[in-house]
Amino acid sequence: MSGFLRCCRALDQVFGSISYITGKLVAWLTLMMALATTATVLSRTFLREGSVALQESVTYMHAIVLMVTAAYTLRHDGHVRVDIFYRRYSPVQKAWTDALGSLLFLLPFCVFTLAISWQYVANAWAIGEVSIDAGGLPAVFLLKTLILVYAGLLALQGLADLARNLIILTVRDDHG
């Protein structure tokens, strides 16, 4: 196997593993979200009291699940796709489509998101941004950091997908 193919396989395995592990770990927060939401509703209904921190924690968990599992979803081809044509493509045509999609759309989107969000997140960290609500969570800067985590994980998975598709295209070209 050529060095190029070994490198592509390694990228796919390492970056794909990161997506898989983070997706599986974070998925458990959906259970925590359901429990926290239930606790909030029960507390407001029966005790006539609410907790801003508990409500905000549900928002934080939802953001974590959404932003961190985007790469996992991409890894498992669970994203929305209008596949009127794609479903009829051969494996090689799919590899070309996916490789070009990663190069022309996904990776530039990730770089753009990182570029425009960096200062926004840095400012939140610089001031130690906290909730504006009394009793809220004191870590808005961590919530905003998820934007960078999202773009970074999605970029890594985009590179893994690109590597996997290059393997398909390279092996096909080598073997006719």
Other CB atoms within a 10 A radius of the CB of residue 55 amount to: 19
DSSP 103: I
Specify the pLDDT at position 50: 82
Contacts made by residues 47-52, CB under 8 angstroms, sequence distance 24+? 51/135, 52/131, 52/133, 52/134, 52/135, 52/136
Residue 162 CB contacts under 8 Å (≥ 6 apart), including other chains: 99, 102, 103, 107
Q: Residue 5 and residue 16: Cα distance in Å, rounded? A: 16
Amino acid identity of 81? R
Q: For residues 68 and 57, what is the distance between their CA atoms, to the nearest angstrom?
A: 16
pLDDT of residue 1: 60
Given CA atoms 15, 21, 24, 27 in this order, what sign does their dihedral have? negative
Please report, in tens digits, the pLDDT of each residue of the chain (176 residues total).
Answer: 688 889 999 999 999 999 999 999 999 999 999 999 999 999 988 988 888 889 999 999 999 999 999 999 999 988 877 778 888 999 999 999 999 999 999 999 999 999 999 999 999 999 999 998 888 888 999 999 999 999 999 999 999 999 999 999 998 655 54
Helix, strand, coil proportions of the chain in percent (round to 5)?
Answer: 80, 0, 20
